[in-house]
Amino acid sequence: MELMSSKRGLAAQRCDIFCNVVDNFGDIGVSWRLARQLAAEYGYCVRLWVDDLPSLSRLCNAVDASLAEQCQRGVEICRWRGDFSKMRPAGLVIEAFGCALPESYIDAMAELVPQPVWINLEYLSAEAWIQGCHGLPSPHPRLPLTKYYFFPGFTEQTGGLLLERDLLQRRDVFQRDAALQQAFWQSVGIAMPAEGRLKISLFGYENAALFGLLQAWAEGAHPVLCLVPEGRILPQIGQYFGDDAPCVGKTYIRGDLQVRVLPFVEQERYDELLWACDVNFVRGEDSFVRAQWAGKPLVWQIYPQHDAVHWEKLQAFGSLYNSQLSAHAAESVQALWRAWNMEHGAGQAWPAFAAACAELQSHAQRWSRQLADNNLALNLLDFSRKIGRMRAFEIEGQ
Ligand code: TRH
């Protein structure tokens, strides 16, 4: 690790990302994705400071959770430590989701000239108010430092969404190429699903609406293959099929429904699951965005917040996403999303959604292309350069 030998000048193109894992995989999922992209596509030397390495090792199996420092996929991964006073901060500092930087690191930032660009990467929301808050400064109460709020989002007035440079191209190749799809299915231990079977990936939190939904699939008009990555919803899958030890590799069958339990795969491979399915149930933030890039109909289980503000977020995204759909398709999406998030009535809402799938499919493709022009990593670097130029100008003027 580099010591703070000089207080003048910043090493070029270095970025520190700080991630405090609150729960699940969203915080680290977004931080890891951004870190990889800044390193691979923009040549940044990225250090990712994370307080929960076991969670990261689920997204990238090569990560050894016992190591304090290691390099994976071009990113220096460091265990979040107590004392940062001897650390030279990078020129670009990203605090993921307001995770509160260590005081000793903030003090070190304040001593640098020019100061690092300090960005708080916020949670994603489609609510209109974020457009007015995106890019706003927040002066430090004690030190001569400013932090900037950077809001991901769906409109041009926001920071956009994380999207790797070649993702949509790779998706299109995959979706056209049966051999690639076959290789994917094989890699998760499944023979290429038969034509005409609706493939549904199901990644979610515990949800009481699951039983009705599974019943609707079992009794429905189309044969369904449901792929469930190992995780929080799995015990309920077991409960529905009368198995108190559901685990990876198991298959359950009822009526026209077949359920397969998949391993939790590495982050890059999860995209392939989304691309290979016809409908994707996703949750939180990062899988929700990836499902949009997959260009397939999706059902979003929003991360529930105790003050219920998630309902407004769900509504805000629904209004944007559904505005380009016919009335009956929009209604079917709204009804299933509401039922899934209310944990009641998803089975009843399913048939209308399934009937609208052809329209939802073309809409999902259009939607992904429409969003692709607003690239978060690019916007973030442009923003940080703008702040950097402003700083240099201020110093010159002193
Ligand atoms: O895991 P999530 O529910 O994460 C969160 C957190 O709860 C967080 O605190 C909250 O603020 C946020 O949601 C809104 O859902 P998310 O965001 O979809 O993250 C899941 C990550 O796991 C994502 O990067 C995709 C990845 N993943 C894999 O890498 N392999 C897999 O097999 C699966 C199913 C997911």
Residues ≥6 apart with Cβ < 8 Å to 136 = 148, 149
Does residue 296's CB lie within 6 angstroms of at least one atom of ligand 1? no
Q: Give CA–CA dist 275/253, Å, rounded.
A: 24
Strands lying side by side in the sheet with 75-79: 69-72, 75-79, 45-50, 14-19, 92-96, 117-121, 146-150, 137-139
Question: What is the distance, to the nearest Å, from the Cα of residue 345 to the centroid of all Cα atoms in its chain?
Answer: 27
Does residue 286's CB lie within 6 angstroms of at least one atom of ligand 1? yes
Does residue 12's CB lie within 6 angstroms of at least one atom of ligand 1? no
Q: What percent of the chain has pLDDT over 70?
A: 97
How much is the average pLDDT of 155-166?
Answer: 98
Q: Give CA–CA dist 340/91, Å, rounded.
A: 43
Site to substitute for ligand 1 among 164, 262, 286, 288, most atoms within 8 A of C-beta:
286
Q: Which residue has the CA at smallest separation from atom 8 of ligand 1? A: 26
Whether 76 is catalytic is no
396 pLDDT more than 80: no
Site to substitute for ligand 1 among 50, 56, 285, 307, most atoms within 8 A of C-beta:
285
Q: For 360-378, what is each residue's pLDDT tens digit?
A: 999 999 999 999 999 999 9
Question: What is the distance, to the nearest Å, from the Cα of residue 284 to the centroid of all Cα atoms in its chain?
Answer: 7
Q: For 24-81, what is each residue's pLDDT tens digit?
A: 999 999 999 999 999 999 999 999 999 999 999 999 999 999 999 999 999 999 999 8
Entry pTM:
0.95
The dihedral of CA 302, 308, 309, 312: what is its sign? positive
Which of these ranges, 187-191, 207-211, 229-233, 299-303, has the smallest mean pLDDT? 187-191
9 pLDDT more than 60: no
Q: Give CA–CA dist 172/395, Å, rounded.
A: 48
Does residue 29's CB lie within 6 angstroms of at least one atom of ligand 1? yes
- pLDDT computed for residue 4 by the predictor: 40
Does residue 36's CB lie within 6 angstroms of at least one atom of ligand 1? no
Q: DSSP per residue over 134-190, as a string?
A: TT-EEE-SSSS-EEEEE---SSTTS--B---TTHHHHHHHHHH-HHHHHHHHHHTT-
Mean of the per-residue pLDDT values for the chain?
94
**Residue among 50, 75, 79, 51 nearest 67 (CA):** 79
Q: Give CA–CA dist 151/379, Å, rounded.
A: 11
Residues ≥6 apart with Cβ < 8 Å to 385 = none
Does residue 27's CB lie within 6 angstroms of at least one atom of ligand 1? yes
Rounded to the nearest angstrom, the distance between the alpha carbon of 25 and the centre of ligand 1 is 4
pLDDT bracket for residue 391 (50, 70, 90): confident
Site to substitute for ligand 1 among 25, 187, 341, most atoms within 8 A of C-beta:
25
For the CA of 303, the closest atom of ligand 1 is: 14
Rounded to the nearest angstrom, the distance between the alpha carbon of 24 and the centre of ligand 1 is 6
- pLDDT computed for residue 388 by the predictor: 85
Rounded to the nearest angstrom, the distance between the alpha carbon of 330 and the centre of ligand 1 is 26
Q: Which residue has the CA at smallest separation from atom 26 of ligand 1? A: 267
For the CA of 32, the closest atom of ligand 1 is: 24
Domains of the chain: 14-161+374-396 (3.40.50), 167-371 (3.40.50.2000)
Rounded to the nearest angstrom, the distance between the alpha carbon of 397 and the centre of ligand 1 is 46
Q: Give CA–CA dist 156/189, Å, rounded.
A: 41
Rounded to the nearest angstrom, the distance between the alpha carbon of 142 and the centre of ligand 1 is 35
Q: Which residue has the CA at smallest separation from atom 18 of ligand 1? A: 287
Rounded to the nearest angstrom, the distance between the alpha carbon of 283 and the centre of ligand 1 is 7
How much is the average pLDDT of 242-255?
Answer: 97
Whether 256 is catalytic is no
Does residue 267's CB lie within 6 angstroms of at least one atom of ligand 1? yes
- pLDDT computed for residue 8 by the predictor: 42
